[in-house]
Amino acid sequence: MADLGRGGGFGAYYSGGPNSITVDIPQIPVFVPERANAILRTLVQQSIRLALSEIAGRVSDEAGRFADTGNLAQSFGADPATSTGGLELLVAGAGGADVVGRVFSSLPYAIVMELGRRAGQPISRSGIDAIGLWAERKLGLSTAEAEGAKWAIAQSIVANGIEGKHYFETGVNQARPKVEAIFRILGEQLAKALLAPGKGQTGTA
């Protein structure tokens, strides 16, 4: 896993391998509110980005088990996010106080793969084209063969529906312990730094 948040000399990052999380917190100038707030905002943003990276990796791995084109897995892992999805950190509010992170895919079949499709629901043209690409890679068909097969496959899906794979839910649940650890360590080290002004803090798990 890439080292995240080290550029400014502090932050949340993986160290010593993907299972070791370190949060470095510098001296927080509690008597200089603007500077203190800026440091805290940076720490929170870096921690959220680290958590997003963990979630994206897990979700991408799960998506790759079911979508053989690779496009679905790759869409979740793009950082920064592209038009097809990825990791995104949204900062708003006064002084950037509101921070929201998300891992997403805008591919039309992402939600279908997650939740499934009831019988009788129509399939969009882009969805049918995606089926053709899947048929080429999964079934080994030529482009011409897949062009005919995709319509037959689409008709079968409309008639019978498909079962949801719940790859996103599974990936998030797998990432949950690491994500919780990131914010637990961040909270612990922030508390220590605020109670002992003039000293930096480093916490590792």
Length reported for the chain: 205
Q: Are 175 and 55 in contact (CB under 8 A)?
A: yes
pLDDT the model gives residue 184: 86
Residue 67: pLDDT band with limits 50, 70, 90: low
Task: Say whether pLDDT at 11 is over 50.
Answer: no
Both structure tokens of 136: 């080429």
User: How far is the C-alpha of 14 from the C-alpha of 16, rounded, in Å?
Assistant: 7
150-159: list long-range contacts, CB under 8 Å, 24+ apart. 154/123, 154/127, 154/128, 157/117, 157/123, 157/131, 158/119, 158/120, 158/121, 158/122, 158/123, 159/119
Both structure tokens of 150: 């995709």
User: How far is the C-alpha of 194 from the C-alpha of 36, rounded, in Å?
Assistant: 10
The pair phi, psi for residue 154, each rounded to 5°, is: -60, -40
pLDDT tens digits, 17-59: 445 555 555 566 666 677 777 777 788 888 888 899 999 999 9
Q: Which amino acid is at 176?
A: R
Residue with the bigger pLDDT between 197 and 146: it is: 146
pLDDT the model gives residue 1: 28
Q: Which of 6-15, 68-77, 128-137, 191-200 has the lowest mean pLDDT?
A: 6-15
